Structure 1
Amino acid sequence: MSTPRDEVRDHAGITGRASDLLSGSGQIAVAMMVMNVATYAYTMSAARIIGPTQYGAFFALMNLLLIVSVVQLGLQATAARRISAEPGHVGQIEREILRVSFRSALALGVVLLVSAPLVNRVLDLDSLPTAALAAFAAMPLTLMGAQAGILQGERRWRQLAVLYVLSGVPRLVVGLALILWQPTEFMALLGVTIGFYAPVLYGMAVLRHPRDTGETDARHGLLPIVRETVLNSQALFAYFALTNSDMLVARSVLDAHDSGLYAAGLIVTRTVMFLPQFVIVIAFPSLSSEVNRGRALVASLSIVAGLGAACVVGTALLPDLALVFAGGREYDEVRDILWLFALLGTTMAILQLLVYSVLARQGTASIVLVWAALAALVGIATTMISTVAALLATVLVVDAVLLVVLLVISAVMLRRPRAAGTASDADGASSPDEPGPSIG
């Protein structure tokens, strides 16, 4: 039976954790806002300074790095989940995650370097050095994922916030100086590459004193971490493919004018989608923990949905202001449906939170559903769509159906009691030594 002193101590602990959470949320929100503003400022500056032809090549390379970044995000999710779920093994997890990230970065760099002639030809760069430079940009990007995951899992919000700021600001400062000196796609990508090394150097500094080894377990060895990283990376790739395929579909099913209108509307979508990303960063460790993960998911969903709803209402009430951010009066034809693009962004943001919730409990079937939704979207849109409104409605319906299904699965899985002695939220058979995957 608890004593009054125990209750006071427990209440103080809960209050302290709530205070830490609020403080962490503010720090991460500000840091990610600074990072995104700096990234956006550099992208827009590059578009104006280096000109359309050079910018097209630079944009293509940035999309290549976006695809490659799923390895970074997979490492971050793996590190954060394992440290949050089993903090007693933090020393071993930290050591193995850094080993895996170094090997992954090296392997990715080698693959991109060897593939530089192919990248040069496929992306029509006419610059082999620029294609090769992508390899040197991918390596620090990958290393940073492991560092961010360790800091996220240990809830070291201040250091993680600095890491995010350094992911954007140095790129803006160094890159802008380089393209003002020589306005080429090589210099634009060189600025990005140099900027990627700033957060890695900081991460090495804050993690230079590794945690005590503590408890060790074969489940946190090299191969299990590699396996989870691969699964997480493909899950995030599925999400990115789903949320970015509509623009590719638009280019194929709409004429040039209408696809441009759809692209303008997607600026609003992407803004709304990225706005609550700090919530996911803060919530993921709690979603990975056995304690109150259901409550954490409900609270996170409420915040993301609330922010999205505010954006939808604001866009509906102030369409002219939203149009300014969507490209201006040249895109006036989508003015009255910009609120639907904001609604799509809200749906995508909630989907992202649910995907991370699946990663936190190591589900598998839910990710198959994301791939199925992607196939359904491409199949429907490429055979039945001919207008901007029809494409937008199709994407909204597919994403909304997937959202509802994932919500139902999450509710069922989080209410299911965990078998005593197991190490994960397994739906199938599990043992204390080797957790089985959750089908949800």
Structure 2
Amino acid sequence: MTANVAGYLLQLLAGRWLGVTGYSEFASLLAVQLLCAVPALALQNVVARESVRGASMAALRGVQWRCAVIVAGVAAVLLPVVTAALNVSVAACAAALGAAPVLVLLSGEQGILQGDNRFRGLAVVLGAAGVAKVTPALVVLALGGGAAAALWAAASGLAAAALFARYVAGGGSRPTREVTVTDSVGVLPVLRAAQVQAALMALSSADLIVVRMVLDEADASRYALGTIAAKIAFWLPQAVGVVLYPRMAQPTHSARAIRDALAVLSAIGIVAVLGAAVAAPLAPLFAGEDYAPIQGLLWLFALHGAILAVLQGAVLSAIAVDRTALAAVTWVGLAVEVTLMVSFARSVPALITTAVCVAATTTVVVAVIVLRTAEHTAPQRLSS
């Protein structure tokens, strides 16, 4: 909650301080940064899963550093491409992409804590990382700095958070496991998990990138601010997957954990949508009158985030049991969404409606596949 509130505060104040003419660049680069964080999210899930299975600390730290080096190289290659595609400054884009390898190191330590069920330490790291990222960026923005300076400040804060996470995770002995200890963890499992995470993150962020191509600067900024409601609904129940993930990775508990996760995520999503509808009149008060036109659409943005939260729970369960082929469904959903938006959507309502419809269809298909797979494979695992 601390990390999420800090993130929303950053976007809300950035929207006010940068204005409708400057916020779009900042929000789009944050979306790019989220996409670049995909390897970090995948690494955390793989590290947590292998930790449950008994991997050694040396093996977990080794794959963490190998992935960080790979991500740094990819970020360097993408820098000119993203800069040109989004029409943003090189300095701002470099700051957004430069945070990617740092996020990998941070997430690797979080995966160790998660897999060991050390949720108190994980909570401290998550909260500290959120504050460390946001506080320097807010200071820069308050002093009149632009998007580039704020993004560099945020990247510096994340570097400090990664060092703190390493300290909290420690380097001592691991808890005793009733499984065979693994001496090495390869990059390939991370890549398989990454393509699942990439599909989810792309589906949740593609609209923010497309809006800069199909809307004018003012409407693109309004849409970007509206997605704060989506992000709240998406990240609010993140702890559900974090806590249940180790159970999903255990064959005897996997099916029940998946059903519990999807049910709780759906219930929280309903509450989030109702909350957005009730709080909508306050949006112009906090963000400024320039954003009043999207007030009546906030519940729809929240619905988008709530649906994606359920989808996230479903894909997490697939990573936990190393069954990542169903990511193809999400990739298809992404292709359909981008095609429809670029071809037909020319207004904020049309864009968010398209995003909601595609996300809902994709989530239903993935959830049905995941539940049926879990129910069919659970008896086989128990008998074996």
Change beyond 3 A, Cα 1:196–1:296 = same
- Which letter maps to 2:4? N
Deviation at 1:220, TM superposition (A): 6.0
Deviations 1:274-332 (A, max 9, x none): 2111112112111111122222222222222112112223344554246656x455444
SS at match of 1:208: coil
Change beyond 3 A, Cα 1:125–1:370 = same
Deviations 1:383-430 (A, max 9, x none): 3444544443332222222222122212211111458689xx9xxxxx
More moved, 228-237 vs 358-367: 358-367
Deviation at 1:119, TM superposition (A): 6.0
Aligned to 2:42: 74
- For the 8 Å contact 2:12–2:225, the answer to whether it is kept is no
- For the 8 Å contact 2:284–2:295, the answer to whether it is kept is yes
Deviations 1:154-195 (A, max 9, x none): 110111011112212223444445566783555423322221
Deviation at 1:53, TM superposition (A): 7.9
1:153 pairs, out of 110, 115, 124, with 115
Structure number with larger C-alpha Rg? 1
RMSD of aligned C-alpha atoms?
3.5
| 1:203-222 equivalences in 2 (<5 Å) | 203-206=165-168, 207-211=170-174, 221-222=184-185
Deviation at 1:374, TM superposition (A): 1.1
Q: Does 1:226 align with 2:187?
A: yes
**Matched residues, percent identical?**
31
C-alpha separation in 1, matches of 2:353 and 2:209: 16
Aligned to 2:200: 239
Aligned to 1:143: 105
Change beyond 3 A, Cα 1:328–1:283 = farther
C-alpha separation in 1, matches of 2:17 and 2:348: 31
Q: Does 1:283 align with 2:244?
A: yes
C-alpha separation in 1, matches of 2:345 and 2:28: 26
C-alpha separation in 2, matches of 1:50 and 1:278: 31
Aligned to 1:338: 298
More moved, 299-308 vs 390-399: 390-399
2:124 pairs, out of 141, 162, 166, with 162
C-alpha separation in 2, matches of 1:323 and 1:369: 37
Scaled by the length of structure 2, what TM-score is found? 0.84
- Which letter maps to 1:308? G
C-alpha separation in 2, matches of 1:220 and 1:378: 42
2:230 pairs, out of 269, 275, 288, with 269
Change beyond 3 A, Cα 1:102–1:264 = closer
C-alpha separation in 1, matches of 2:335 and 2:78: 28
Change beyond 3 A, Cα 1:185–1:272 = closer
- Which letter maps to 1:371? W
- For the 8 Å contact 2:20–2:290, the answer to whether it is kept is no
More moved, 308-317 vs 273-282: 308-317
1:65 pairs, out of 27, 33, 55, with 33
- Which letter maps to 1:291? T
C-alpha separation in 1, matches of 2:282 and 2:102: 38
Q: Does 1:404 align with 2:364?
A: yes
Q: Does 1:99 align with 2:62?
A: yes
- Which letter maps to 1:235? V
Change beyond 3 A, Cα 1:304–1:208 = same
Aligned to 2:263: 302
Aligned to 1:358: 318
Change beyond 3 A, Cα 1:152–1:314 = same
- Which letter maps to 1:194? S
Q: Does 1:171 align with 2:133?
A: yes
Q: How many equivalent residue pairs?
A: 382
Change beyond 3 A, Cα 1:315–1:282 = same
| 1:22-41 equivalences in 2 (<5 Å) | 33-41=1-9
C-alpha separation in 2, matches of 1:52 and 1:328: 10
C-alpha separation in 2, matches of 1:386 and 1:179: 31
C-alpha separation in 2, matches of 1:361 and 1:53: 45
Aligned to 1:10: none
- Which letter maps to 1:348? L
Deviation at 1:354, TM superposition (A): 1.0
- For the 8 Å contact 1:315–1:322, the answer to whether it is kept is no
C-alpha separation in 2, matches of 1:51 and 1:337: 20
C-alpha separation in 2, matches of 1:351 and 1:382: 23
Change beyond 3 A, Cα 1:209–1:61 = same
Change beyond 3 A, Cα 1:400–1:107 = closer
- For the 8 Å contact 1:36–1:168, the answer to whether it is kept is yes
C-alpha separation in 1, matches of 2:23 and 2:340: 32
Aligned to 2:72: 109
Q: Does 1:379 align with 2:347?
A: no
Higher relative contact order structure (alpha carbons within 8 Å, sequence separation ≥ 6): 2
Scaled by the length of structure 1, what TM-score is found? 0.74
C-alpha separation in 2, matches of 1:49 and 1:315: 23
- For the 8 Å contact 2:254–2:378, the answer to whether it is kept is no
Change beyond 3 A, Cα 1:176–1:324 = closer
- For the 8 Å contact 2:24–2:224, the answer to whether it is kept is no
